[in-house]
Amino acid sequence: MLPPRSDFPADFVFGAATSAYQIEGSGAGGAGLSHWDTFAATPGNIADGSDGRVACDHLNRWPEDLDLVRDAGFDAYRFSASWARVMPDGVTLNPQGMDFYDRLVDGMVERGLKPFLTCHHWDLPADLAALGGWQNRDIAARFADLCVALHDRLGDRLASTATLNEPWCIAWLSHFLGHHAPGLRDIRAASRAMHHVLLAHGTAVQALRAEGAANLGIVLNFETAHPADDTPEARHAAEVQDAIYNQWFIRALMGQGYPQAALEGIGPHLPAGWQDDMALIAQPLDWLGVNYYTRRLYTAAPGLWPHVAEAPGPLPKTQMGWEIRPEGLTEFLTRLARDHTGALPLYVTENGMALEAGQDVTADARRVQFIGDHLRAVRAALAQGVDVRGFFYWSLLDNYEWAFGYGPRFGLVHVDYDSQTRTPKQSWHAFRAMLAGGDA
Ligand code: IFM
């Protein structure tokens, strides 16, 4: 059961979220190659050998997809712009690409949906990746140019603009753990990316403000890091993991400096003079986006820093193997307000679960339960006085789950990738009933 809409403030925003590379179809519309196209073209990187060239063909089917957002009764749609579509080489404007987002935003407005833009959700143009991507300090200026170009064309209709989605994934997951494009496992590359991604954010916010842009934020992901047992070693491992994942970005953004437990390993590899960038990184924000999915258990690993290894957890899991722990969402929302963000409005910009393909495609009662439990977790944070302004389900559609390919299905709407038929699942109907004010 989903909690009734009346449990939330009258102006609380309910939405569904997607990202460009995961749904649009990257191989059309004058787009350049992104580093996800090239990463996916390299054998062994993607579980099923797939890529995002067609994905959900949203580039052509977006009116039907926006109808699904509207018909569920959502207030808002969170989407991202593909950098390689807007600027195929990362620099030069592609009018055809920008026209697509112009039509898409018009389509949202026509349907009464608030457009929540994310300027970058991981599909870095391959030409910029070839210049070092997030390792190269110049990325900050290039990214600011992208954000300003998007604002100049779309800003008059946007309800909100986020600079980046999940900088931990852009930097650490992609340059240290090697799981995402560009697939590096290199502490120096990762450390530089950890800093430059924040520098790019700060540079972009400053440039956007100069253009008169309003309602600016950034979307961070948070994962509960618990010790796997009660040993000091496991407790230390969980603290280091928490510092890298849950504190690095928010502390820098709020002018609190990088956490010492992460600086121990990352500090020696940061670009020279990084301290001079910290004021620019800590630009005032209008809101923070919080993505929350799971908690993980950690134990000490021998060998090299960060001495952190993941241990299996006992809780029920999603298809991704992610433990389901809704109270972690309440904990993060209250912890953020208490330790970092104060009165800054928070949005849950992503929360959702994957189920396998092949299960009864639309009878996703487990997902309805998952969403209900997490909405109740948001309600608990509201009851404790945290200023949470909205909740976006990830994702509107089944889509390309990055290195996992098309196996995991997070959607409220099933997508048959052969026919591109969309079929709303039980969870979509549950949202529709709830948002219409009935029982879900
Ligand atoms: O699909 C991703 C999304 O791109 C970013 N946040 C997490 C989702 C599920 O893994």
Q: Residue by residue, what is the 3-state secondary structure of 356-406?
A: CCCCCCCCCHHHHHHHHHHHHHHHHHHHCCCCEEEEEEECCECCCCHHHCC
Domain CATH code at residue 38: 3.20.20.80
Of 348, 395, 406, 409, which is best to mutate to test ligand 1, by the most ligand atoms within 8 angstroms of its C-beta? 395
For the chain, the average pLDDT equals 97
**Domain-located, residue 440:** no
Hey, whose CA ends up nearest to atom 9 of ligand 1? Answer: 401
Pick the catalytic residue from 166, 223, 239, 323: 166
> Is position 166 annotated as part of the catalytic site?
yes
The per-residue pLDDT for 359 is 60
Q: Ligand 1 centroid vs 415 CA: distance in angstroms?
A: 17
> Is position 327 annotated as part of the catalytic site?
no
Q: Please give the number of the atom of ligand 1 that sits closest to the Cα of 121.
A: 4
100-119 pLDDT, tens digit per residue, is: 999 999 999 999 999 999 99
What's the longest Cα–Cα distance across the chain?
A: 58
* Strand duo 388-394 + 346-350: pairing: parallel
**Domain-located, residue 82:** yes
Mean of the pLDDT values across residues 222-240? Answer: 98
**In whole angstroms, what is the distance from residue 105 CA to residue 94 CA?**
17
Pick the catalytic residue from 223, 239, 350, 401: 350
Q: Which amino acid is at 20?
A: A
The per-residue pLDDT for 361 is 78
Q: Please give the number of the atom of ligand 1 that sits closest to the Cα of 22.
A: 4
Quick one: CA dihedral 279, 160, 422, 372, positive or negative?
positive
The per-residue pLDDT for 214 is 97
Q: Ligand 1 centroid vs 31 CA: distance in angstroms?
A: 22
**Domain-located, residue 251:** yes
Q: Ligand 1 centroid vs 180 CA: distance in angstroms?
A: 12
Owning domain of residue 423: 5-435
Say if residue 357's pLDDT is above 70.
no
Q: Which run of H or of E encompasses 142?
A: helix 139-154
164-186 pLDDT, tens digit per residue, is: 999 999 999 999 999 999 999 99
Q: Please give the number of the atom of ligand 1 that sits closest to the Cα of 221.
A: 6
> What band does 29 get if pLDDT is binned at 50, 70 and 90?
confident
**Burial of 438 (C-beta count, 10 Å sphere; 0-12/13-18/19+):** exposed
146: helix, strand or coil: helix
> Could you tell me if the CB of 127 is within 6 A of ligand 1?
no
263-306 pLDDT, tens digit per residue, is: 999 999 999 999 999 999 999 999 999 999 999 999 999 999 99
Q: What is the number of structural domains in the chain? A: 1
C-alpha 440: how far from chain center: 27
> Could you tell me if the CB of 394 is within 6 A of ligand 1?
yes
**Burial of 136 (C-beta count, 10 Å sphere; 0-12/13-18/19+):** middle
**Domain-located, residue 310:** yes
**In whole angstroms, what is the distance from residue 305 CA to residue 45 CA?**
25
